[in-house]
Chains A and B, each alone.
Chain A
Amino acid sequence: MRLGLTPAFLVKIVSSVVLIPARSVHKSELVKMKLLTHNMLTSKSMKGVTVGYPLGINVVDIKVTEVDFNPEFISRIIPKLDWSVLWKAADTIGQLDDLPKELSQEYENDNDFLKKVHHVLLEVDIVNGELVCPETGRKFPINNGIPNMLLNEDEV
């Protein structure tokens, strides 16, 4: 039921509250913006933008959290990545460690390497900052880990 057509329904939906007992232990914290996400975003849907990739990153603050390491999972993500974009992003936010600039051939069996990729992809979070369209300079703010990619009507 989502008939928001009548005012009565509207009031009901807007005012209803679901009370859930608070959990005493939280295993995780609010998810912020991952470099994996940055690797997947473009601004090419903007008017006048041809490639719009990669987006620039301006960081206000980042957070590092420990995430369980699964080498098989990381090996599956790597072919979907633009490696040079990930490397540059990690460099930009000072989390490069000694991640190699070139992707090694047999990374599936290189646990140390996969662990570094895991760290950069899933453990480093951008909390506040902005993403920047490389062609127009349009800034997309990231507040508390949520990038705001909405465009104005005159931008599409």
Chain B
Amino acid sequence: MDDKDLLELFKEEGKENYAFNLIVDKYGERLYWHIRKLVASHEDANDLLQETFIKAWAALPRFREESRLYTWLYRIATNETLTFIKRAKLKAFLSLSDYSRQLENQLEADPYFNGDNTQMIFQKAIMRLPSKQKAVFNMRYFDELSYEDISEISGTSVGALKASYHHAYQKIQDYLKETI
């Protein structure tokens, strides 16, 4: 069922829950991985994903279809995650520690990380990026979204996104060269 049909179904009296469950079914996994790659921890990713869907459920009746459903959901998920990271960074700053260092430690101790050493180093390089740049890099590199879609999600111009991706790419490449 495509997004248009899902939205039509959602508008029908008494079918909101069913339609929304279909939306969760369709996009839940994709959004989870998007969040997970930003926060590393499974527990945090799960909480943020549920929060994303609760917000989407509350806002869906006002969704005016000016953007596509999946970019709209991505936007909610990205905003939720970036807000979470901002709070976590502030918390880390107040406790005189470094947030990216915390993420690296979390990654090393994560029982749900099955990557090899190269993948570990690669993920650490991504964790060192500023959070918005990290989100742009992940959406482009892993999710293979077009710059136009990322622009719709982030509200940033395509030109600025290309520059951001290029900077992120360069930083990661430099880190990999030094570390591997």
Partners in one complex: no
A residues with a Cβ closer than 8 A to B are none
